[in-house]
Amino acid sequence: MNDLHAHEAMHDAARDTGHPSDASRGPTRRRFLLSTAGLGAAAGAGAAGLIPARALAQDDTLPDYVAWKDADDMIVHSPQTLETTRAGQGARAITPDVDLFVRNNLPAPSEDIVADRDAWEVSIEGVGSPATMTLGELKTLGVRSVPTMLQCSGNGRAFFAHEAGGTQWSVGAAGNVIWTGVPLSAVVEAMGGLVSEAAFVTGTGGEELPDGLDPKTIMVERSVPLDALDRILLAFEMNGEPLPLAHGGPLRMVVPGYYGVNNVKYVKRVALTETESEAKIQQTSYRVRPVGVSGDPSQPSMYEMSVKSWVTTPLMEAATGNVLIQGVAYGGQSPLDGVEVSVDGGETWQEAEITGADMGVHSWRPFALRADLEPGTYTIASRAMNAEGTAQPEDFPPNERGYAHNGWRDHAVELTVS
């Protein structure tokens, strides 16, 4: 373990319980490997995606703050990292809150912060007239709803061969939800407009930070380029309900089309800033670099999500005949234009039907293909393409932290038809 790894491992451990001596990261990974071992070689690189919903979930109990989730659909990697099974994702246009993955860097704040939602305060800085506003006041400035795929940067990490450190997400650190909130541009306008030097929008999470650690090393504070301003929402509802604490209630900075980490939960400060946040989560974490290289601010940050799709059903087994293959697909930064499905590991492809409504560029859409399958074993893959003509690659190059995997081959599933 090099210095960076040691540092990040400690950082991850600190994230898990707030205490740096917690070593939960190691055992979590070991348990994951043990759980997949029984699937054997046939499952290949896609093994993590092939585990039936209950095989991993059965021993896992949900932590209190997410006790309301559907345990059958969740894989509990740690109290702060819960993944949705492929079966739990299904071919649904919208992910119900009970099935949405959870990823917390720090323990979630107390339920007290959602007791009186409209009293939540957020400081707006870097505008003509900076001020602290309550959520109740913010709500008077405008409202917009945006269906958006929410996806962790490390979704697909389990498929990389170099055993990238971090939660071994397969496909389930992703969901598609409808955010409702106040457009940040309306807030900026109401507060005297942008300061001229502004180059980033910086959001700060409202967690209480554990004592004894340098706040910069653990605080969740992310900066996104000012270009994103017009798409940002200060969201207070998810899927038409008050935003659950686990997903950032009472107020979250949502940047549609950007990886999960930029969607700062329990946001307490939104600042139009000249420079990027000094927090480690901005400066060196979430940076894409070659395997073995340390993170630094010159490397690309995990911002815009790319074109991606995966099959969610059927998994493992199906009866011979007319098999309905379904999954979800996302166009990235331009609209989804088509999805192809292969039942022979990518030798041949057929155009799938996009079954879900077009709810805008930031939303995923379910797809389906009927295939007449004889008894046998099939490798089922999907490949999405967007309106710019960018398709998912067959393979995705490794990077140190295992971010952004959208290669179709590793996301394929093995199906036995009998």
Q: Footprint of Mo ion on this chain (CB under 5 A)?
A: 103, 152, 260-261
Least distance (Å) between residue 16 CB and ligand MTE: 11
**Contact stretch for ligand MTE (CB under 6 A) within 46-54, 71-79, 86-94, 95-103:** 95-103
Which CB atom, from 260 or from 402, has the smaller least distance to ligand MTE?
A: 260
Question: Which of the residues 202 through 221 are near ligand MTE (CB under 6 A)?
Answer: 205, 207, 220
Interface with ligand MTE includes 401 (CB under 6 A)?
A: no
Spatial CA neighbour of 368 closest among 406, 332, 328: 328
Q: How far apart are CA 152 and CA 174, in angstroms?
A: 6
Which CB atom, from 148 or from 273, has the smaller least distance to ligand MTE?
A: 148
Least distance (Å) between residue 130 CB and Mo ion: 29
Which CB atom, from 105 or from 176, has the smaller least distance to ligand MTE?
A: 105
Interface with ligand MTE includes 405 (CB under 6 A)?
A: no
**Contact stretch for ligand MTE (CB under 6 A) within 2-10, 22-30, 101-109, 314-322:** 101-109
Interface with ligand MTE includes 260 (CB under 6 A)?
A: yes
Interface with ligand MTE includes 315 (CB under 6 A)?
A: no
Interface with ligand MTE includes 150 (CB under 6 A)?
A: yes
Least distance (Å) between residue 81 CB and ligand MTE: 9
Partner from Mo ion, ligand MTE, none contacting 247, C-beta within 5 to 8 A by type: ligand MTE
CA 173 to chain centre: 5
Q: How far apart are CA 91 and CA 83, in angstroms?
A: 16
**Contact stretch for ligand MTE (CB under 6 A) within 209-217, 264-272, 345-353, 363-371:** 264-272
CA 227 to chain centre: 21
Least distance (Å) between residue 247 CB and ligand MTE: 4
**Token pair of 225 as six digits:** 């380029």
Binding mask 221-250 for ligand MTE (x = CB under 6 A): --------------------------xx--
Q: How far apart are CA 83 and CA 319, in angstroms?
A: 28
- Maximum C-alpha span of the chain: 68
Which CB atom, from 81 or from 382, has the smaller least distance to Mo ion?
A: 81
Report how far apart, in Å, the C-alpha atoms of 387 and of each of 201, 211, 341, 394 are. Answer: 28, 49, 18, 19
Q: Tell me if 307 sits within 8 A of 338, measured CB to CB.
A: no
Phi, psi dihedrals of residue 15, rounded to the nearest 5°: -65, -30
Partner from ligand MTE, Mo ion, none contacting 385, C-beta within 5 to 8 A by type: none
Which CB atom, from 282 or from 392, has the smaller least distance to ligand MTE?
A: 282
Q: How far apart are CA 56 and CA 47, in angstroms?
A: 12
- Which of 86, 265, 383, 401 touches ligand MTE (CB under 6 A)? 265
Q: Tell me if 236 sits within 8 A of 181, measured CB to CB.
A: yes
Report how far apart, in Å, the C-alpha atoms of 361 and of each of 35, 156, 309, 385 are. Answer: 36, 21, 14, 13
Partner from Mo ion, ligand MTE, none contacting 106, C-beta within 5 to 8 A by type: ligand MTE
Least distance (Å) between residue 285 CB and ligand MTE: 9
Q: Tell me if 303 sits within 8 A of 355, measured CB to CB.
A: no
Q: Number of C-alpha atoms within 13 angstroms, CB side, residue 377?
A: 5
Q: Tell me if 279 sits within 8 A of 195, measured CB to CB.
A: no
Which CB atom, from 103 or from 411, has the smaller least distance to Mo ion?
A: 103
Report how far apart, in Å, the C-alpha atoms of 112 and of each of 26, 90, 250, 325 are. Answer: 32, 34, 10, 44
For the chain, the straight-line distance linking the first and the last C-alpha, in angstroms and rounded, comes to: 46
Least distance (Å) between residue 136 CB and ligand MTE: 21
Partner from ligand MTE, Mo ion, none contacting 84, C-beta within 5 to 8 A by type: none
Angle at 415 between CA 409 and CA 418, to 5 degrees: 155
**Contact stretch for ligand MTE (CB under 6 A) within 49-57, 84-92, 133-141, 263-271:** 263-271
Interface with ligand MTE includes 101 (CB under 6 A)?
A: yes
Interface with ligand MTE includes 66 (CB under 6 A)?
A: no
Q: How far apart are CA 46 and CA 249, in angstroms?
A: 34
- Total site size for ligand MTE, rule CB under 6 A: 20
How would you label 212-226 residue by residue, b for 16+ Cβ within 10 Å and e otherwise? ebeeebbbbbbbbee
Place of tokens 């509990």: 76
Partner from ligand MTE, Mo ion, none contacting 311, C-beta within 5 to 8 A by type: none
Which residue ranges make up the site for ligand MTE (CB under 6 A)? 100-106, 150, 152, 205, 207, 220, 247-248, 260-261, 263-266
